A and B are shown apart, each in its own frame.
Chain A
Amino acid sequence: GAGVSQTPSNKVTEKGKYVELRCDPISGHTALYWYRQSLGQGPEFLIYFQGTGAADDSGLPNDRFFAVRPEGSVSTLKIQRTERGDSAVYLCASSPQRDGEQYFGPGTRLTVT
Chain B
Amino acid sequence: AQSVAQPEDQVNVAEGNPLTVKCTYSVSGNPYLFWYVQYPNRGLQFLLKYITGDNLVKGSYGFEAEFNKSQTSFHLKKPSALVSDSALYFCAVRDIRGSGNTGKLIFGQGTTLQVKP
Contacts and interface: CB of A to CB of B under 8 A. Distances in A.
Interface of A: 3-4, 31, 33, 35, 40-45, 48, 50, 55-56, 58-59, 91, 93, 95, 97-107
B117 interface: no
B39 to A, nearest CB: 10
Interface of B: 32, 36, 41-46, 49, 90, 92, 94-95, 98-99, 101-110
A99 B99 contact: no
Contact of B106 (A45, A55, A101): A45
A99 B44 contact: no
Nearest to B91: A42
Q: Chain B interface mostly helix, strand, loop or mixed?
A: loop
A31 B103 contact: yes
B44 A98 contact: no
Contact of B99 (A31, A55, A103): A55
Contacts of B43: 3-4, 91, 103-107
